Amino acid sequence: MITPSQIRMARAGLRWTIEDLSHESGVSSRTVKRIEAANEVLSANVSTLNKLKGCLEAAGIEFIGTPDNDPGIRIRTTRPDETL
């Protein structure tokens, strides 16, 4: 799963506001704020986290590490279907 700090990092990397993420993911801005404010222990519905994760991944974010081991993000510069 992902952590609140990864969500904040991903949003910052995309230069998205909370409202942008809310609009793109279909998750209310109030819920996004609550999740991002959490202390690395999420109490959100798994389907909500999957919506956020999927939306951010579709926008070019790769989540790396695990919640317990070096969680972070990587911003893709090419789409998986593009060739160099």
- State the CATH number of the domain containing residue 24: 1.10.260.40
- Nearest by Cα to 55 from 20, 30, 81: 20
Q: Per-residue pLDDT tens for 24-81?
A: 999 999 999 999 998 876 778 899 999 999 999 999 999 999 988 999 999 998 766 6
Inside any domain, residue 65 = yes
How many structural domains comprise the chain? 1
Residue 32 CA to its chain's centroid (Å): 10
Inside any domain, residue 50 = yes
Quick one: average pLDDT of 10-23?
98
Which residue is associated with the tokens 């999927």? 54
Q: Where are the alpha helices (DSSP H) in 1-81?
A: 4-14, 18-25, 29-37, 46-58
Measure the CA dihedral 6/10/11/15, to 10°: 150
Inside any domain, residue 83 = no
Residue 7 is predicted with a pLDDT of 96
Domain assignment of residue 69, given as a range: 4-75
Inside any domain, residue 81 = no
